[in-house]
Structure 1
Amino acid sequence: MIQFNPMSIASGTINPVQNKATPAEATESFASFLKDALDGVAAQEMNVHKVNDKFLIGEADVNDVLIAASKAELSLSLTAQVRNKVIEAYQEIMRMQM
């Protein structure tokens, strides 16, 4: 992973600093990030169900339901877009000649 020093960016000289992460550590880090993102999408879906249940018993406003549903829809849409990009990248790698 490459990190940039903000002072170097401000002065116009960008000097990347290499982290000493092994491929296994990078893979684990990405897997952890992906799991957290998917857990967040699942949590938003569960929130929609909770708000919907509250609406049915009269404890929530229709606006709360619509906002929760919109947030969950956007998260799911983003997840689908990321999945599509990952699949495209994988297919492009598989088409490369060695």
Structure 2
Amino acid sequence: MKINNVLSIGNNDLQVKENKPQIDFGGFLKDEIGKVNELELQSQQADEMLAIGETENIHEVMIAAQKAEIALQFTMEVKNKIMEAYKEIMRLPL
């Protein structure tokens, strides 16, 4: 009975390629802040259209305002968490 050697267990032959585009954290934050800004601008535009009488659907205006407010609140919470994490890292002894 012939026993062959066991191949190495490492992943030398297996190369997994990720086709996802790599976005850094700063770029991600910049994109998301841009989206929040767009929601704010849409809300302001809806308010102006309601004020001059171009739209009579107050529901859409209120929905746009709530979307913008929730997005801004979420952004502020993310900023607060990032600042807390930074302060915690700065308190670590060297």
Return the TM-score normalized by structure 1: 0.69
Give CA deviations for 1:39-80 in whole Å, capped at 9, x if unaligned: 001100100111111112223211111100000000000000
User: 1:23 corresponds to which residue?
Assistant: none
Would you say 1:97 and 2:77 are equivalent positions?
no
Query: Which has the larger Rg?
Result: 2
RMSD between superposed Cα atoms in Å: 1.8
User: 1:37 corresponds to which residue?
Assistant: 32
Q: Is the helix fraction higher in 1 or 2?
A: 1
Equivalent of 2:83 in 82, 87, 92: 87
Task: Give the distance between the partners of 2:71 and 2:52, measured in 1 at CA.
Answer: 26
Q: Which SS does the other structure have where 1:43 is aligned?
A: helix
Q: Considering Cα pairs closer than 8 Å and 6+ residues apart, tell me whether 1 or 2 has the greater RCO.
A: 2
User: 1:7 corresponds to which residue?
Assistant: none
Task: Give the distance between the partners of 2:69 and 2:82, measured in 1 at CA.
Answer: 20
Would you say 1:57 and 2:52 are equivalent positions?
yes
Partner amino acid, structure 1, of 2:28 = F
Q: Is the strand fraction higher in 1 or 2?
A: 1
Q: Which SS does the other structure have where 1:58 is aligned?
A: coil
Task: Give the distance between the partners of 2:61 and 2:54, measured in 1 at CA.
Answer: 11
The answer for unaligned runs of 5 or more in structure 1 is 1-16, 20-25
Q: Which SS does the other structure have where 2:54 is aligned?
A: coil
Runs of 4+ in 1 over 2 A off after TM superposition: 57-60
Q: Which SS does the other structure have where 2:93 is aligned?
A: coil
Return the TM-score normalized by structure 2: 0.72
